[in-house]
Amino acid sequence: MKKFRFKLTALFVLMIGLSVLAAGLLMGKSYKDNHTLALQEHMEKEMRVLIAAAPWPVGLTEDGQTEYLQSQAVRFKELADMRVTYVRADGVVLGDSDHEPETMANHLDREEVREALEHGIGSSERHSSTLDENMLYMAMAVKDGDRVQGVIRLAVGMTDIERSLSKMWVALVLGLLLLFVLAAGVSYRVALGVTRPLERMTGAAKRMADMDYEIRVPDDGKDEVSELARALNALAESLQGQMAVIRRNGMRLQSVLDNMPSGVVMIDPAGNVTLYNSSAEWLLGSSAKERVGRSFTEFKQHYELSQLIRQALDSREPLHEELTVYFPEERLLELNLVPMRMSGEEETGLLIVLQDVTAIRRLERMRSEFVANVSHELKTPVAAVKGFAETLMAGAVNDPETAQSFLKIIHDESERLNRLIGDILELSKIESRRSTQQFSPVDLNAFLERTMEFMKTEAAKKNIELQWEADPELFLEADEDRLGQILLNLLQNGINYTPDGGKVKVRAEYVAGEGADDVDGKIRITVSDTGIGIPKKDLPRIFERFYRVDKARSRSSGGTGLGLSIVKHLVDMHHGTIRVESTVGVGSHFIIELPLLQP
Ligand code: ADP
């Protein structure tokens, strides 16, 4: 831009300089011409006066003529301070104010004399070798009618004119120089006025190229440069808007990718990872930082996955697989590998969507196991009922004693079937969350008293001592029926798995929360017995459906294997926890903790 500014300035200066020079030359020439012309006119008038005042002395002899004309010349010179020369028609000088006429050469060859003889008047400007200066000569023919008698010539030195001309030249050159300096300054300012907005715009365009679209240039003028500035500002604004949209879309896409539960990995045609979202980080165990920009072959912990990627890249066919990965933990992943061509690219990249199906598959397995278990559980009582009924029909009915005992067995088994079906229905109701909970404040003292009353006869049958204690004024928000179901199931187990003469005890107490405002205060209900206890290895599994420590004993006690599973679900429904502490041969404690208030 600087170059342009200097070029523009130089151009202005040159143009101004040339015009000033041309004007100076013209002025000088016209000054000199006017001066010369005025001098010539003046000399012409002088000559006419001279001719009129002293006519050509035709009547005198040659010597007389010379003498007369010489004296005239000298006199005139004194009056007018001009050299006067009288020349006869044949060129002989008869009188001269500055020289002896005899010593002077014939003047017929002088230009002004020749012109005067031919046209009546003549002039010439030349260097006089006699006086060693430039002289202006003016000659006029003196006539008597048509006959030329001689020529009178005046001459003045050009020194004065030349001096004033050279003065004028000095003034002109000085003026020119001054003008030059002025012109240079003005031109520089003008050039600056033109180039500065351009420089600003160039700077703005460079910053826009560096993606800074907030830059604006002043555009409040009416000329073309301001028009350009306005266009540039509009461009920056539009780019800024588009950039914001792109950024917003990018962020939206990024947050979708970051928040989606499926892992998304993109691989470019060269096999490098270009995208690795946070779910992928969680499922495959490496961070996006470690993965993006690197080859998929570096998936060292996932050999099978990299094999699948290679296969999909080579075949360019979509792949759907389920794969067990062992890093960062064992998971079953559902993989969808979709080849995709990015716009403008020839080669095909790969989009991989990963889904953790471990829980789904476990649930499916549990469902099918549950169906198998239910069928198995139903089969035994049904087979018993069928068998005993057939035996009765085959004749046993005739023996009243046998018939009585068989009918009792059939009744017990159908009772068990009824319980089993009841439990299954209850469980499925709770699991499908079809039943609605009705939370209300429960007075635990009254509640425990009522519940223990229910179990009294059952306990008395086995001579088991039932005890309960609760902090006074203990309340909690719960669904009372469900809470009763929890406690009854636990008490039933306690009685079932405690030998005759044992003890089953319930204790309810308040456990203060950790926060100062006590919002997370809890109620702890512990059901303890002095029963057979549960072996350590079975403890983690006793809340599973149909899980029994000792199948024969559970059956004989009338258990369905679903009681604790129902308890666990009901405790979950109350946002509480249940755990068990047990020692074989000593007894068990089932500890439930429920929040004081339901969230
Ligand atoms: P069941 O109907 O067989 O009692 P549960 O789900 O209630 O089924 O209990 C699962 C298993 O846990 C029982 O079969 C039993 O082996 C064990 N169990 C439950 N409660 C006790 C207890 N209080 N003492 C010892 N074992 C228990």
In the chain, what are the domain boundaries? 2-159, 260-356, 361-430, 436-595
> Which amino acid is located at 459 in the chain?
A
Q: Ligand 1 centre and the CA of 425: distance in Å?
A: 19
CA 560 vs. chain centroid, Å, equals 65
Which protein residues are within 6 Å of ligand 1, measured from CB? 493-494, 497, 529, 531-534, 542, 547-550, 554, 559-565, 588
CATH of 361-430, one of 3.40.50.300, 1.10.287.130, 1.10.3720.10, 1.10.150.170: 1.10.287.130
Confidence of residue 102 (pLDDT cuts 50, 70, 90): confident
Question: Would you say residue 99 has pLDDT above 70?
Answer: yes
Q: How far is the CA of 155 from the centre of ligand 1 (A)?
A: 155
Measured in Å, residue 493 CA sits from the centre of ligand 1 at 6
Tell which atom from ligand 1 comes closest to the C-alpha of 547. 10
DSSP state of 398: G
Residue 3 scores a pLDDT above 80: no
Q: What confidence tier does 516 reach under pLDDT thresholds 50, 70, 90? A: low
Q: What average pLDDT does range 382-389 have in this prediction?
A: 93
CB 267 within 8 A of CB 353: no
Please state which of the four CATH numbers 3.30.365.10, 3.40.50.1970, 3.30.565.10, 2.170.120.12 is assigned to the domain occupying 436-595. 3.30.565.10
Share of residues in the chain with pLDDT > 90 (%): 51
What's the whole-number mean pLDDT along residues 300-312?
91
Distance, CA 542 to ligand 1 centroid (Å)? 7
pLDDT in tens, 11-32: 888 888 788 788 878 888 888 8
Q: Which of 151-165, 287-301, 365-379, 452-466 has the lowest mean pLDDT?
A: 151-165
Cα-to-centroid distance, 553 and ligand 1 (Å): 10
* Cα 563 to ligand 1 centroid, rounded to whole Å: 8
Ligand 1 atom closest to the CA of 543, numbered from 1: 6
Mean pLDDT over 526-531 rounds to 96
Residue 117's contacts (CB-CB under 8 Å, 6 or more residues apart) are: 89, 108, 141, 148, 151
431-481, pLDDT tens digit by residue?
887 677 889 999 999 999 999 999 999 999 999 999 999 999 999 999 999
**DSSP letters of 512-547?**
--SSTT-TT-EEEEEEEE-S----GGGGGGTTSTT-
Residue of the CA atom closest to atom 23 of ligand 1: 494
Out of 415, 493, 528, mutate this one to test ligand 1's pocket (max ligand atoms within 8 Å of CB): namely: 493
The fraction of the chain above a pLDDT of 70, given in percent, is 98
Strands (E), 277-431: 319-325, 331-340, 349-356
CA of 554 to the centre of ligand 1 (A): 7
Residues 6+ apart with CB under 8 A from 526: 506, 507, 589, 590, 591, 592
Nearest residue to 183 via CA among 14, 351, 58: 14
In angstroms, what is the span from residue 312 Cα to ligand 1's centroid? 52
Residue 41: per-residue pLDDT: 92
The preferred substitution site among 548, 557, 570, 588 for testing ligand 1, maximizing ligand atoms within 8 Å of CB, is 548
The pLDDT of residue 1:
58
Q: How far is the centre of ligand 1, averaged over its atoms, from the C-alpha of 306 (Å)?
A: 48
Model confidence over 259-280: pLDDT tens digits?
999 999 999 988 999 999 999 9
If you measure from the C-alpha of residue 438 to the centroid of ligand 1, how many angstroms do you get, rounded to a whole number?
A: 28
Ligand 1 centroid, distance to 381 Cα (angstroms): 20
The residue nearest atom 16 of ligand 1, judged by CA position, is 549
Instruction: Output the CA 534–ligand 1 centroid distance in Å.
Output: 8
Enumerate long-range contacts of 71-74, CB under 8 Å, 24 or more apart.
71/95, 73/97
* 331-350 mean pLDDT: 86
Q: Measured from the CA of 565, which atom of ligand 1 is nearest?
A: 6
CATH topology of domain 2-159: Beta-Lactamase (3.30.450)
Residue 291 is encoded by which pair of tokens? Answer: 């993965």
Please, which residues have CB within 8 angstroms of residue 43's CB and are 6 or more apart in sequence? 82, 136, 138, 154, 156
The residue whose CB lies within 8 Å of the most ligand 1 atoms, and thus the one to mutate among 464, 534, 562, is 534
| pLDDT in the model for residue 247 | 93
The residue whose CA has the least distance to atom 8 of ligand 1 is 561
The 10s digit of each residue's pLDDT in 275-290 is 999 999 999 998 999 9
Q: What is the model's pLDDT at position 458?
A: 92
Per-residue pLDDT tens digits for 237-247:
999 999 999 99
Provide the pLDDT for residue 30. Answer: 87
pLDDT at 364 over 80: yes
pLDDT average, residue stretch 76-83: 86
pLDDT surpasses 70 at 517: no
Query: Does the pLDDT of residue 153 top 70, yes or no?
Result: yes
In ligand 1, the atom with minimum distance to the C-alpha of 531 is: 24
Q: Which of 542, 550, 578 to mutate to test the pocket of ligand 1 (most atoms within 8 A of CB)?
A: 542
Of 200, 172, 182, which is closest to residue 12 (Cα–Cα)? 182
pLDDT, one tens digit per residue, over 64-74 is 888 888 988 89
Task: Give, using CA atoms, the residue closest to atom 7 of ligand 1.
Answer: 563
Mean pLDDT computed over every residue of the chain: 89
Q: Which of 160-169, 232-241, 381-390, 465-474 has the lowest mean pLDDT?
A: 160-169
pLDDT of residue 337: 95
What would the two tokens of residue 498 be? 């405690």
User: Can you list the pairs that 175-179 forms with residues at least 24 positions away whose Cβ atoms lie under 8 Å?
Assistant: 175/20, 175/24, 176/17, 176/20, 176/21, 176/24, 179/16, 179/17, 179/20
Residue nearest to ligand 1 atom 21, measured at CA: 493
**pLDDT, tens digit, 9 for 90 and up, residues 548-571:** 888 777 777 778 889 999 999 999
Give the pTM: 0.54
**Which residue's alpha carbon is at the smallest distance from atom 4 of ligand 1?**
559
| SS3 of 87-152 | EECCCCEEEECCCCHHHCCCCCCCHHHHHHHHHCEEEEEEEECCCCEEEEEEEEEEEECCEEEEEE
| 83 φ, ψ (degrees, to nearest 5) | -75, 135
Q: What is residue 507's predicted lDDT score, i.e. its pLDDT?
A: 97
260-356, what's its fold?
Answer: Beta-Lactamase (3.30.450)
Distance 443 CA to ligand 1 centre (A): 28
Identical fold, 2-159 and 436-595: no
Question: How confident is the model at residue 256, as a pLDDT?
Answer: 93
Distance CA 467, CA 450 (A): 13
Q: What is the pLDDT of residue 518?
A: 63
